[in-house]
Chain A
Amino acid sequence: MADVMKKIPVREQDPKVRAGNFDEVCLGYNEEEAVAEAQRCLNCKNARCIEGCPVGIHINEFIAKVKERDFTGAYQIISESSSLPAVCGRVCPQETQCEGRCVRGVKGEAISIGKLERFVADRAREEGIRPAKPEKTNGHKVAVVGSGPAGLTCAGDLARLGYEVTVFEALHKAGGVLTYGIPEFRLPKDEVVAKEVENVESLGVKICTDVIVGRTESVDELFDEGFEAVFIGSGAGLPMFMGIPGENANGVFSANEYLTRNNLMKAFRDDYDTPIFKAKKVVVVGGGNVAMDAARTALRLGADVHLVYRRSEAELPARAEEVHHAKEEGIVFDLLTNPVEILTDENDYVTGIRCVRMELGEPDASGRRRPVVIEGSEFEMACDAVIMSLGTSPNPLIASTTEGLDTNRKKCIVAEEESGQTSREGIFAGGDAVSGAATVILAMGAGKVGAKGIDAYIRGKEA
């Protein structure tokens, strides 16, 4: 009998093997493992895990169905709250959300809620179970800008309420960051992302790719076409750089570029025409999930990879699981280290990076201890590529082409937290376009709030 205080371990690809392929790292639970893990759930009356979920999945109820081996029933319960369970089960930071509140976690290990969610969603997909399309629409048209987690969630929720929803996507494939940003080895594109997008479409949502709202059509034109409300979930935007010498050299990339080439444009596959810079030694600058994704991608493309971060391990913004996986695969973490210059040869190709060592001083505005340069600690590291993963600043396109749409000091769209309402009537917003770079699940939460806000707005107009 397994120790009830401990999680049923999940099977993973061996680190040495997976470092050389793009297949999914985590293999997920099988039926027996899932049922055994579900049996650990105490099915609390006042289930605190639900409070930790930004989209409010009825976690205890779906786990109860898993215990009974009613996986379809479990899927229907999750689907009431989430449009993207196969995605969330893989990329949510459960340890700080649902699992972080789990009562089991007080004395032992929390229930593996994420892995159970993934199992239920994968099983439903394998069996061809789709969320049910509403019987009839209510005749109201809503436009959603962006087909990332915020947009898809908002669209899915509105479609369930009977709205006729059209999603406009700038790129040639739907999914937003799920498609261009998060790598295949964490989130398979064809098997998982494309299928989740199809599920949203099966609710009646129409997705138009190759439409850049703000250029191909303006938000105001969408209203002219008869859309009664618009949700803006256009995501994060322009990558940030450090402003150090050598940053425009050949071999310096934003994590966005490196990941987009590989995920959306599939540079890792020989049958795709996309070129990617084949580096021998890569230095990734940054400590978030995107930095981990870039580092692990470079490793799989055959490079030795060092990750440089200016604070210590405790401050790494990435999920613990991602850091653990990166280390297992052989990424070297150079912590308390900060680049000051990128070194180049006469043709402007990267030859190395000059860094300084840091120590932690007093806490700064973010509450984290501020890194301070140690005098005289400068050193050089040889490398032929540098990937900057320092976050993004919002894309100004929609705000600059939509009159009366207020942005804040950081150029993020201003939206009310409880409804997603912006400064313009009928326009709602959520996700990274509002919050700045955050997580998939927070964007989904904002999409959900936006859908509720839009529903209330349109009902209010009718009354």
Chain B
Amino acid sequence: MFKILSKTQLNAVVWEFVLEAPLLAQHAKPGQFLIVRAGETGERIPLTICDYDAEKGTVTIVFQPVGVSTMKFQELNPGDAFDDVVGPLGRPSELLSLSDEELRSKKILFVCGGVGTAPVYPQVKWLNAHGVKADVIIGCRTHDLLFYEDKMRDVAGNLYVTTDDGSYMHKGVVTTVIDELVAEGKHYDLCVAIGPMIMMKFCTLTTKKYEIPTIVSMNPIMVDGTGMCGACRLTVGDEVKFACVDGPEFDGFKIDWAECLKRSQMYKTVEGEAKLRYEEGRTHEGGCGHCG
């Protein structure tokens, strides 16, 4: 069992848990993910590692409840435990293979969308620790959904926040900010985009225009996460890759986005039904005329 040490609500829909997982914390690197499972009947849910502390033996996860399993996570509290926390999985960020000198010679831009802000944080923090200040764009629908602003500002170079409705700082989506930065004459050697698949897709369309090589972190459907089931396969260039062992980070220009987006919908109906059953099971008190 893996104890929950703290639980923080980051905004109306996003939660942060700090978990006790010493072996995992000692081996985690930016870019990797883990799998959590709560309860015997729960699914294995892959989540990108959002922070880790080798000394304290803790890892941080951030999630937005969307299906039954993540809704159950939300109901857990400090002192409760996850049945399973396993990882680190996947390959670390490629930035880790560069020397400090190479890193310092690069101007890096991170683009985060929504809950994707959380997994960007350890990468920016790691770069900061290696003397590199990366610029960061955080995009969210509205100001209330913004989180990690101060944390990110502490480790980033320039931080740009953009909201779809203009309720805070820039108005617009992340790609508008990229356009503006380039128009201002900013130069970037590398972009790392993490967020919803659709946002990563549009981000790569924009960065391609400016020829900024772009890394994305893919979060397809997975079962075991160790290279056994092939559920997470995606087409990168001419090759079929498994996100769990070959990724999760890939060259964003080479990804077949249409295929990835369709594959991510595979269980939408089944999951939607399960979610309804779960919610109704909790709140439905009868009297609708359809139940006993």
Q: Is the interface of A mostly helix, strand, loop or mixed?
A: loop
Verify A253–B233 contact, CB threshold 8 A. no
Q: A276 to B227: give the CA distance in the assembly, Å.
A: 19
Q: A259 to B160: give the CA distance in the assembly, Å.
A: 46
Shortest distance between the CB of A235 and any CB in chain B (Å): 8
Given A216-B88, A248-B233, A273-B69, A395:B228 Cβ within 8 A: yes
Given A210-B86, A248-B259, A277-B266, A216:B223 Cβ within 8 A: no
- Map CB proximity to A onto B205-236 as digits: 1 under 8 Å, 0 otherwise: 00000000000000000011011111101110
Name the residue on B nearest A239 (C-beta).
B230
Shortest distance between the CB of B189 and any CB in chain A (Å): 28
Q: Which of A115-143 contact B (CB under 8 A)?
A: none
Q: A250 to B258: give the CA distance in the assembly, Å.
A: 12
- Map CB proximity to A onto B244-257 as digits: 1 under 8 Å, 0 otherwise: 01000000000000
Q: Which of B72-96 contact A (CB under 8 A)?
A: 72, 83-89
Verify A273–B43 contact, CB threshold 8 A. yes
Give the chain B neighbours of A241 by CB distance below 8 A: 230, 233, 240
Q: Which of A281-296 contact B (CB under 8 A)?
A: none
* Interface core residue of B89, B231, B271, B274 (most chain A CB under 10 Å): B231
Q: Which of A178-219 contact B (CB under 8 A)?
A: 180, 209-212, 215-217
Name the one of B68, B89, B230, B235 contacting A238, with C-beta atoms under 8 angstroms.
B230
Q: A276 to B259: give the CA distance in the assembly, Å.
A: 20
Name the residue on B nearest A269 (C-beta).
B41
Interface flag for B24 (CB, 8 Å):
yes
Q: Which of A226-266 contact B (CB under 8 A)?
A: 237-239, 241, 243, 247-248, 250-251, 253-254, 256-257, 260-261, 264-266
Interface flag for B37 (CB, 8 Å):
yes
Verify B240–A248 contact, CB threshold 8 A. yes
Q: A276 to B235: give the CA distance in the assembly, Å.
A: 23
Name the one of B44, B86, B240, B266 contacting A212, with C-beta atoms under 8 angstroms.
B86
Name the one of B24, B84, B234, B270 contacting A278, with C-beta atoms under 8 angstroms.
B270
Shortest distance between the CB of B129 and any CB in chain A (Å): 22
Verify B226–A248 contact, CB threshold 8 A. no
Given A209-B84, A216-B88, A265-B223, A250:B262 Cβ within 8 A: yes
Verify A348–B27 contact, CB threshold 8 A. no
Interface flag for A26 (CB, 8 Å):
no
Number of interface residues of B (CB under 8 A): 42
Give the chain B neighbours of A211 by CB distance below 8 A: 23, 86
Give the chain A neighbours of B87 by CB distance below 8 A: 212, 215-216
Verify A216–B27 contact, CB threshold 8 A. yes
Verify B263–A271 contact, CB threshold 8 A. no
Name the one of A247, A260, A276, A396 contacting B224, with C-beta atoms under 8 angstroms.
A260
Verify A273–B89 contact, CB threshold 8 A. no
Verify A172–B83 contact, CB threshold 8 A. yes
Give the chain A neighbours of B23 by CB distance below 8 A: 211, 216-217
Give the chain B neighbours of A272 by CB distance below 8 A: 41
Verify B223–A348 contact, CB threshold 8 A. no
Name the one of A210, A260, A348 contacting B84, with C-beta atoms under 8 angstroms.
A210
Given A215-B89, A275-B274, A238:B83 Cβ within 8 A: no
Interface flag for A171 (CB, 8 Å):
yes
Give the chain B neighbours of A348 by CB distance below 8 A: 259, 262-263
Shortest distance between the CB of B235 and any CB in chain A (Å): 6
Q: A272 to B230: give the CA distance in the assembly, Å.
A: 21
* Interface core residue of A237, A243, A251, A278 (most chain B CB under 10 Å): A237
- Map CB proximity to A onto B28-69 as digits: 1 under 8 Å, 0 otherwise: 000000000100011110000000000000000000000111
Verify A238–B43 contact, CB threshold 8 A. no
Shortest distance between the CB of A143 and any CB in chain B (Å): 14
* Interface core residue of A241, A257, A276, A348 (most chain B CB under 10 Å): A257
Interface flag for A170 (CB, 8 Å):
yes
- Map CB proximity to A onto B178-204 as digits: 1 under 8 Å, 0 otherwise: 000000000000000000000000000
Given A248-B235, A275-B271, A260:B41 Cβ within 8 A: no
Q: A180 to B44: give the CA distance in the assembly, Å.
A: 13
Verify A170–B230 contact, CB threshold 8 A. no
Verify A212–B265 contact, CB threshold 8 A. no
Could you tell me which A residues sit within 8 Å of B by CB distance?
Answer: 170-172, 180, 209-212, 215-217, 237-239, 241, 243, 247-248, 250-251, 253-254, 256-257, 260-261, 264-266, 269, 271-278, 347-348, 395-397
Could you tell me which B residues sit within 8 Å of A by CB distance?
Answer: 23-24, 27, 37, 41-44, 67-69, 72, 83-89, 223-224, 226-231, 233-235, 240, 242, 245, 259, 262-263, 265-267, 270-271, 274
Q: 9 other contacts beyond A216-B88, A278-B270, with CB at 8 A cut-off?
A: A209-B84, A212-B86, A215-B87, A238-B227, A238-B230, A257-B230, A265-B223, A273-B69, A395-B227
